[in-house]
């Protein structure tokens, strides 16, 4: 299984280019934590806290937003049209080249 490359802009504007495995059942929130980027992941990936909110900057095709994520984003802050919860995006080969920006901490 191959790794994919993901570009993550942190809250200071620094761009981190990281490699993520596609065979470890990881999601974007966990990738950020693995690289010690400042993502809290408070609820453990259950779309219940929005601490892993990010803005999708690339045109990468992502899995559709499910009901739980939609509901959480409707209560979160700093939400934009391109907001997603990292914990709801599994790392697959389709993510190669994805560019995201971490939403402000709340």
Partner 1 sequence: MIKTDLLIIGAGPTGLFTVFEAGLLKLKCHLIDALPQPGGQCSELYPKKPIYDIPGFPEILAGDLTKNLLEQGKQFEPGFTLGERAETIEKQDDGTFIVTTNKGTQHQAPIVAIAGGLGSFEPRKPLIDNITQYEENGVEYFIKNPEHYRGKKVVIAGGGDSALDWSIFLTDIASQVTLVHRRNEFRGALDSVEKVRELTQIGKINLITPAEVTDILGTHKVEAVVLAKGEEKQVIETDHFIPLFGLSPKLGPIANWGLEIEKNAIKVDNALDYQTNIPGIFAIGDVNTYPGKLKLILCGFHEATLMCQAAYKILNPNKKYVLKYTTVSGINGFDGTRKQAPKPVVQAIN
Q: Which residue lies nearer to partner 1 by CB, 27 or 51?
A: 51
Least separation in angstroms between CB 18 and partner 1: 18
46 binds partner 1 (CB under 8 A): yes
Q: What are phi and psi of 84, to 5 degrees?
A: -145, 160
Stretch that binds partner 1, among 8-16, 24-32, 42-50, 87-95 (CB under 8 A): 42-50
Q: How many CA atoms lie within 13 A of 97 on its CB side?
A: 5
Is residue 74 part of the contact set for partner 1 (CB under 8 A)? yes
CB 17 within 8 A of CB 31: no
d(CA 32, CA 39): 6
Please give the structure tokens belonging to residue 70. 């939609």
Interface residues with partner 1 (CB under 8 A) are 40, 42-43, 46, 48-49, 51, 67, 70-71, 74-75, 77-78, 106
């Amino acid at each position: 299984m191959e790794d994919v490359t993901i570009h993550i802009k942190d809250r200071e504007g620094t761009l981190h280019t990281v490699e993520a495995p596609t065979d470890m059942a990881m999601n974007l929130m966990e990738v950020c934590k693995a690289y010690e980027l400042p993502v809290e992941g408070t609820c453990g990936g259950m779309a219940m806290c929005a601490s892993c909110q990010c803005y999708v900057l690339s045109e990468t095709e992502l899995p559709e937003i499910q009901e739980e994520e939609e509901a959480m984003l409707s209560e979160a802050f700093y939400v934009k049209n391109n907001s997603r919860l990292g914990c709801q995006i599994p790392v697959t080969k389709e993510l190669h080249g994805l560019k995201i920006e971490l939403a402000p901490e709340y």
